[in-house]
Structure 1
Amino acid sequence: MQSFAFEPGCRLLIREDLLAPFRRYRLLSEVTIDGVAHAQLLPMQGAARIGEATGAVIAHRVTAELVAGLSTGLVEFDDERDDDTPEELERRRKHRDRLLSDKPDRHQLYIRFWRAILRDVDRRLPPGLKTARVVVDGVRTKRLVLQDVLTELGEKYGLMYFGKTRSVSVSQYYRVLAKRREGDDRDMEPNTSARGNRNQLLPEVKRVLRDTVAEKLEAARHAPRKGDKPATSVKDIAATVYDRLEELKAQRPELADKIKLPSKTTFYDTVGQAPARLRVLAVRKSVATARDFRRPWGHEEPDFALSQVQYDETLLPLYCYCDVLKIPLGRPWLAWLVDVYSNAIIGFYLGFEPPGDAVFASVFRHAAMPKSYVSGAYPDIAQPYPMSGIPRFVTFDNSLSAHGNSIERLLGDLDVPWDFTLARMPWLKGAVENSFHLLNLGLLSELPGFVLPQDVDRSDYDPKENGLIGFLHLLWIVHRYLLEVYHPNPPTIGGPSPNVRWQEGTRIVKPRYPRTGQDLDFLFGIVREGVTLDHRGVLYEGIRYYSEGVDGIRYWNGANVKVSLKVNPVNLSRIQARYGDGAWVTCHALNKTEAQVSLHVHKLRQRHSERLFGKADWESRIKAEVHLRGLMRGAVLEDHGTRVSGLLARALGIGTHVVFGQLGLGRQLPYLQDFSSAQPDAAMRQLTPPPDRTPSGVRAPPSTPALPPGPTEPTPTPPTGTKPVTATPTVARFGTGSLPRRVR
């Protein structure tokens, strides 16, 4: 997927409101007027779908408002170029709609292979050195320095992506580089139509020995270990070389007399020429080898912000309750991305979803988009949240989600390289580990509801005897801690604050953003094949979808066709559909009131409706939802453990994956207020953002009917503008007296 930056020369599409047409501008420069940064914009002649230009008068806009407009739908990056022909523009839009993950697997490997080579060549060889020649004994040879680098990278990335070394020539490099400069990097897919079978020359004995040693040492890095037994040995290498030489004799009988097994000394000498770390890894385990060869952090510090970020998640030692329904929810998860250059938190997740694709998608979307919601949702927080942009390298821990296909597809579509650390090696991602340590020491240990995990078992925490903290209150505290404590203050070891480092790290290399704020919604989507599209629309999990885009699919391909669907599991209000290998088009739910939930909550309603009424139509699901909310409100009188409370939190859809996923296009973050005098249905509407207007400008149908009244327990007073971060919020206690323990 393409990414853009607010830098001189970029083209922008700007409109005054959501119903006005876009106008095309070019960003000339950035100037300061009365101490405020302004962007100079030059109107350009627009196409038919864009509003006409107002003239060649330079316009000025506040830079902060321009960046914030990207998340509200008022600003988009223009993907057209000055010298574009209609054919080139149509081809680029077609490539933009078809992501890398939609291509065949062999084409994806080829593109990733060349991406890595182009990236490493630019890093190793500055301009002017690519044409330099190798000097041997003071004499310039005909061999280029570039060829030596390409040979090394072909072996490295060939083994990584294809399982064998690949030869890369200078002419191949310049052909692929020209394709990337002329279009998009997705044009680098290979043309295999003219290829044929070619005879391969057999290697000599020395080549067989060298290749066998390299393969055995590389295989030892990933081979399962049994106790302290080595993964390979010289005897094992000699046996493999002997078998390959026998095959070579049979294939080359004219060389049978000259093909002999090398001596024992030759084997040890060849193995000794391999890197010491690979040789030790073949004998010892990976964790012990990594510990022996670790180095002090700081040798590869990034030069700019977003050049390297680290991701991790943790289960907070806090127990929360729902601010609206007044029921205990259990311990929330906190996950965030830390910029290594500035040590700033560029995006986070707080909720009750266990670590997985939904959590990382929420963190990545929150990190990539501007945080313009803070000033409106939390007016008492004076500091801004300037950290935003697409990372250029991501480091994960060794979790199952880091090895999943979803992260590979998302970061591959964004052209963001990533890596993951090995198990039991926290020093490899020290920035994010240190940020969690500071959070525990400076904030969490002083809050009500803080209990060390070893003190209270997950199934024995009693909310009637122990303090809890409201989830929305905790969300406000996390925002205020980051913006008024962590980011503006320098670290204890000295040096500038994260805010200052972020300004320095983005002065030269500007953050890059997706073309629109909604481009990230479906990168983690669930793909379903063979869904019927007819006059009723497309049906997914009992919800009907339709739009002008899918109407065009029916117009060109038939009244009843099979399409593919891509669903965002966080929000079912809209999905994407495509026919064959065509572009993805967005279609909206016909009943938006029912679709403004996550996939997990919707399936829970369906199962509960079938259990109660034997069917799952619209009316039955509404009744089931009302019944579920009543059960949840009544759960305050039950003696639930934290595991059951966590399941209730997931059923309610409580978490920033839902809240942040609905930001943009006028949506606001739910704010805190005193619910003690409000009705339960009004409080629930306060927690859920109002639905957006439909594409035609008509407001969507009203939300879910009023819920049955809940318990009359008091709700803690929300934070005010003068309340400090370290102040102790009101603690809620549930139940009175000593209720009998529920039989498990």
Structure 2
Amino acid sequence: MSHEKEVGVFGDEFQTVIEFDKHSEGSLTTHGTVNRDLASYSTEIQSEVMRRYRFIEWILKRVKGGWTEKNLNSLIRQAAIELKLEPPSCRTLARWWKSYSEENCSLMSLLPNNSNKGNRKQKVANDSVFFERAIERYLVPERPSIAAVYEYYSDLIRIENQSLVDGQIQPISYKGFYNRVKKLPAYEVVLARHGKYQADMAFDKIDVHTPATRVLEKVEIDHTPLDLILLDDELDIPIGRPYLTILIDQFSKSIVGFHLGFEDPSYYSVMKAILNAIKPKDYVSERFPSIEHEWYCQGKMESLVVDNGREFWSGSLEQACLEVGIHVQFNPVRKPWLKPLVERIFRTIGSRLIVTIPGKTFSNLLQREGYDPRKDAVMHFSTFNELFHKWIIDEYHYDSDSRKRSIPFLKWQEGVSVMPPIRYEQDDLEKLSVVLGVMAKRKHRRGGVHLHGLRYDSHELADYRRMNPHDTKVLTKTNPDDISSVYVYLDRHQRYLKVPCIDPIGYTRQLSLTQHRINQRLHRDYINQQVDLEGLARVRMYIHERIEREAEDLNRLHRSRPKRTTGGMSRLAKHNGVMSDSDASCVPEELPALNVKEPKKPQKALPDSDEWDNFISKLDPY
């Protein structure tokens, strides 16, 4: 038996959640489960859903009037060329749009009908020729000077004049040559000598980005390594320059979230920053009591403005953001003016906060002179984390910009009073962590799921394991802030199950994925320091040589003796007590002679080798 219920703010991202009774298939309960998302479908279905979305998005911006065959045919052909995707028919596209619009623009409405099936798969004199050859040498990426090119031009004419009897060619003066070069089309000169990007930057029209009209309509995100070397909290040693991933609201210029860590920019750091941005910031007052104000930024952003970094082009990022209603807007290559705020905030952080902290580094090596940031670093990571929170919340948000145009806090309140952003309820935050979690596929085998060097299992997962083939791969999602449990997608039930870590000592309690990876690396380094590689090498060589000597001795013995059978020898070794704590062998000891008269009746013979097994099998073990 099952029943359905609607999911709050995720009504346009998730299908209805099905709750199973305790007696349903596999004894799966509703506790700790979340309905399936797009990532749980096969790669082919995910690609098909994104193909349908690309066509709808492209046509929606250009169609005039209804979605009729007359309006759509030419647009579909143009879209297929630009998107480089297989075009649908106009009726199919109209059907996709009808389903997409009726379901409040939910990605899940674009699933194919067969998505639940399984397993398918200027005029010049006579020197014009020489001038043109000189210009060819000038318009090259090596960028020679005009003086050098004029020398080449003069040399060409001198060599040519040596072969002429009459009509000597007179080269123009350097000034005349210089003026001719300067009259060349400026764009073509910069294009040939500096490249297309510099040519476009110098001569094309500079567009301005469309400003946001409300809070969280557009949020910019980017990374940068901070010019600062920090110390480890426990070891007091330099641990390097941290990477800062930051999100800033275009309307209010408020910093809505960030992530600070030492890993290179990745999907993980982007997800951590996004989760920090959209969740309530209740942790601030508990962890940093010195902060006076509240970090007011939270809620559902409409568009996430990103550049062309590899981590932003991840299909998992765009897919996860679309599922929670966040549209990912990719900036054109090398057009930073379309994402101005996040580029400027990095300079602001460097000039107003980091510049006074010992341990500051310099991007230009010539600026360092005799300053060594590693020797002068005096600030721990936790201290800088507290100061960075305080600078954002208590200073930046309540200070005006350099032109005295606005204050982030007041601008945010102005936007909220007109159109407040959607806030996630507490019940939805767990589902949000699942959708934006770190995704991986692992084998579901005896002992559960092995992930991050840990083991995750539960009674519900064990029951589900009994109904599936051995070593089936399952989709897992990890909340990077808490690895004490993971979510495992159960294909048979089409939902996620929360599975705890098998952790008898409580190691993973309130442990983040970053902390766990650091612990793993430190443990590996410690073990490597404790291992005596030379000693182990000597032991292995001794074992190898001992085996070779033993084999040689036995071969020599076999060559000197007639071939003998080994039947019954294992029983004889058992009888003589051949074991690791004694020096016994299979050679029987000679018994002392007994001064006893021979009995009159004939003595019963001992069993031969064929009867030995039956003879000793009646002995009781001890």
Give the TM-score normalised by structure 2. 0.59
Correspondence list, 1:519-558, <5 A: 519-522=431-434, 523-532=436-445, 534=446, 536-540=447-451, 542-554=453-465, 557=467
Gaps of 5+ in 2: 22-29, 116-139, 142-190, 532-622
Residue 430 of structure 1: CA displacement?
0.7
Code of the aligned partner of 1:188: L
Structure having the higher helix fraction is: 2
Residue 365 of structure 1: CA displacement?
1.0
- Measured against aligned partners, the alpha-carbon deviations of 1:375-400 in whole angstroms (never above 9, x if no partner) come to 22223322111111232222222322
Correspondence list, 1:157-236, <5 A: 157-159=79-81, 161-163=83-85, 165-169=87-91, 172-173=93-94, 176-178=97-99, 180-182=101-103, 184-191=106-113
Q: How far apart in 2 are the matches of 1:430 and 1:340?
A: 9
2:340 aligns to what?
430
Residue 175 of structure 1: CA displacement?
6.0
- Measured against aligned partners, the alpha-carbon deviations of 1:620-651 in whole angstroms (never above 9, x if no partner) come to xxxxxxxxxxxxxxxxxxxxxxxxxxxxxxxx
Q: How far apart in 2 are the matches of 1:525 and 1:437?
A: 31
**In angstroms, what is the RMSD of aligned CA positions?**
4.4
SS in structure 1 at match of 2:507: helix
SS in structure 2 at match of 1:530: strand
SS in structure 2 at match of 1:493: coil
CA separation of 1:338/1:464 partners in 2, compared to 1, >3 Å: closer, same or farther? closer
Q: How far apart in 1 are the matches of 2:413 and 2:62?
A: 27
Q: How far apart in 2 are the matches of 1:118 and 1:464?
A: 54
2:430 aligns to what?
518
SS in structure 1 at match of 2:329: strand
Correspondence list, 1:78-93, <5 A: none
Confirm or deny that 1:102 pairs with 2:40.
yes
Larger Rg: 1 or 2? 2
Correspondence list, 1:272-671, <5 A: 285=196, 288-289=199-200, 292-298=203-209, 300-455=210-365, 462=372, 465-506=375-416, 507-513=418-424, 516-522=428-434, 523-532=436-445, 534=446, 536-540=447-451, 542-554=453-465, 557=467, 562-568=472-478, 571-580=482-491, 582-591=494-503, 593-595=506-508, 596=511, 598=513, 600-601=517-518, 603-604=520-521, 607-608=524-525, 611=528
SS in structure 1 at match of 2:339: helix
- Whether the 8 Å contact between 1:358 and 1:570 is mirrored in structure 2 is no
SS in structure 2 at match of 1:517: helix
Q: How far apart in 1 are the matches of 2:506 and 2:530?
A: 21
Q: How far apart in 2 are the matches of 1:416 and 1:154?
A: 26
Q: How far apart in 2 are the matches of 1:490 and 1:153?
A: 47
Code of the aligned partner of 1:98: R
- Measured against aligned partners, the alpha-carbon deviations of 1:281-323 in whole angstroms (never above 9, x if no partner) come to xxx835644664453424x212222221111111111221123
Between the two proteins, the alignment pairs up a number of residues equal to 433
CA separation of 1:164/1:113 partners in 2, compared to 1, >3 Å: closer, same or farther? closer
CA separation of 1:612/1:149 partners in 2, compared to 1, >3 Å: closer, same or farther? farther
- Whether the 8 Å contact between 2:40 and 2:489 is mirrored in structure 1 is no
Q: How far apart in 1 are the matches of 2:18 and 2:441?
A: 32
CA separation of 1:191/1:373 partners in 2, compared to 1, >3 Å: closer, same or farther? same
- Whether the 8 Å contact between 1:308 and 1:391 is mirrored in structure 2 is yes
Code of the aligned partner of 1:504: E
- Whether the 8 Å contact between 2:99 and 2:110 is mirrored in structure 1 is no
SS in structure 1 at match of 2:449: strand
- Measured against aligned partners, the alpha-carbon deviations of 1:521-555 in whole angstroms (never above 9, x if no partner) come to 443424124331x3x43333552222354144146
Give the TM-score normalised by structure 1. 0.50
- Whether the 8 Å contact between 2:227 and 2:363 is mirrored in structure 1 is yes
Q: How far apart in 2 are the matches of 1:340 and 1:159?
A: 33
- Whether the 8 Å contact between 2:400 and 2:406 is mirrored in structure 1 is yes
2:181 aligns to what?
none
- Whether the 8 Å contact between 1:287 and 1:423 is mirrored in structure 2 is no
Q: How far apart in 2 are the matches of 1:176 and 1:88?
A: 30
- Whether the 8 Å contact between 1:357 and 1:524 is mirrored in structure 2 is no
Gaps of 5+ in 1: 1-46, 51-75, 131-143, 194-226, 229-279, 615-744
Q: How far apart in 2 are the matches of 1:584 and 1:488?
A: 43
- Whether the 8 Å contact between 1:113 and 1:157 is mirrored in structure 2 is no
SS in structure 2 at match of 1:593: coil
CA separation of 1:518/1:287 partners in 2, compared to 1, >3 Å: closer, same or farther? farther
Q: How far apart in 2 are the matches of 1:86 and 1:339?
A: 33
Residue 471 of structure 1: CA displacement?
1.6
Confirm or deny that 1:112 pairs with 2:50.
yes
* % identical equivalent positions: 22
Residue 336 of structure 1: CA displacement?
0.2
Q: How far apart in 2 are the matches of 1:529 and 1:354?
A: 24
Residue 467 of structure 1: CA displacement?
4.0
- Whether the 8 Å contact between 1:357 and 1:401 is mirrored in structure 2 is yes
- Whether the 8 Å contact between 2:442 and 2:449 is mirrored in structure 1 is no
- Whether the 8 Å contact between 1:155 and 1:164 is mirrored in structure 2 is no
Q: How far apart in 2 are the matches of 1:526 and 1:415?
A: 19
SS in structure 2 at match of 1:487: helix
Residue 600 of structure 1: CA displacement?
2.5
